[in-house]
Amino acid sequence: MKTNLLNIPGVATLSRESQSKIKGQAGVDLSLCGCSCSGSVTGPAYCSWYLACPDVYTCEETF
């Protein structure tokens, strides 16, 4: 498997030192998160890790 990856153009093997210098993180967009009228968290799966909705949450109904 490793030899197949090294045959791809532009692929390079990184040393342990080079790997330890790489920093970064996956960004999360909390603006996609919210609460539904039933009180459950809406949005991507990670929203429940960052947001908690009240047990009873009511929305105004417009007719």
Q: What is the pLDDT of residue 5?
A: 61
Q: What is the arithmetic mean of pLDDT over 17-41?
A: 84
Better pLDDT: 39 or 2: 39
pLDDT category at 36 given cuts 50, 70, 90 is confident
Q: What is the 3-state secondary structure (H, E, C) of the chain?
A: CHHHHHCCCCCCCCCHHHHHHCCCCCCCCHHHCEECCCCCEECCCCHHHHCCCCCCCCCCCCC
User: Bigger pLDDT: 56 or 39?
Assistant: 39
Express as a percent the part of the chain with pLDDT over 70.
78
Question: Is residue 50's pLDDT more than 70?
Answer: yes
